[in-house]
Amino acid sequence: AIKDELEDLEKAGINVIQIDEAALREGLPLRKSEHSFYLKWAVHSFRITNCGVKDTTQIHTHMCYSNFNDIIHSIIDMDADVITIENSRSDEKLLSVFREGVKYGAGIGPGVYDIHSPRIPSTEEIADRINKMLAVLETNILWVNPDCGLKTRKYEEVKPALNNMVAAAKQLRTKLASAK
């Protein structure tokens, strides 16, 4: 069903599609002896869902609240073009594994602000978070995005937060371009 949906989205002209990850952490069996089989199955399931799309269609995935160290090779094997992760509460602690683990050119979008809070982060605050991420990740793989979906927030909270996020990204792109 998901595979059919992806193909329909692509036919409709959508060329960036996010598929939430295949429960790598959430479904992981408690018995370590079952981890390998489960992770191979989950990765295979994820890849089957997007095997029919064109190479020009970007496949994004998202993972929330996780420690990725022991599943990084499965994340790599998923072969998503971009992974977005919850990051605003972890202070970039989760990022080093992606710098070490990303070997196929995948992008990473660590959340730059906490969508579970009604607080609207300033442009400067978001720019500071992005700079901290750039101390760990290379500019060519960093995507700027909120932590997760925005369904828990009201429009009055979402719009200014996203405006500040876009302003911070533009500000840093300009700064990085002038430094070259």
- What is the set of active-site residues? 116
CA dist 68 and 80 (Å) reads: 15
Closest to 43 (Cα-Cα) out of 68, 14, 77: 77
What is the C-alpha to C-alpha distance for residues 115 and 94, in angstroms, rounded to an integer?
A: 18
Contact predicate 111/87, CB 8 Å:
yes
Under 8 Å between Cβ of 141 and 105: yes
